[in-house]
Amino acid sequence: MLCSAAMAWVFLFLAGVCEMVWPLGFKYTHGFRTHYPAVAATFLIMILSFGLMSVATAKGIHVGTAYAVWTGLGAAGVAVLGMILFHEPRDMIRIGCLGLIIIGVIGLKFLSPPETKPVVPTADAANEASIPQ
């Protein structure tokens, strides 16, 4: 079984994959004007993407890191899928910039410190502080 920190990254990666998929649904439905079952599926994938990112942050990934990775994976993934599926431009500058996004995502994965849980005072600690000595 994977540890909680590793599972958080798995959830974040899955959220990023969902973030890559829903824009394809947006394009396929012509801006939500046709193919209504695909519109519904697109909205479900959007909700799943948000939910998975929420789980990742609840399991310990900093929200700023999670959001940057989520949007980076989504943006780079959609751009690559657009090149493959819709024959969008694939010049070297565009591919190089996408590579920088991916390098940034990898850097955030391996260089981000773990989240530290805030210390929550207990009722006993609050009572001890209020008792005069």
Q: What pLDDT is attached to residue 14?
A: 97
Domain boundaries, the chain: 4-114
Residues of the chain with pLDDT under 50: none
Q: What pLDDT is attached to residue 108?
A: 87
Q: What is the pLDDT of residues 121-131, one digit of tens each?
A: 666 655 555 55
Q: What is the pLDDT of residues 104-119, one digit of tens each?
A: 989 988 887 876 665 5
DSSP 111: H
DSSP string, 69-110: HHHHHHHHHHHHHHHHHS-----HHHHHHHHHHHHHHHHHHH
Q: How many CB atoms sit inside 10 A of residue 106's CB? A: 12
In whole angstroms, give the CA distance from residue 96 to residue 121: 49
Q: What pLDDT is attached to residue 116?
A: 66
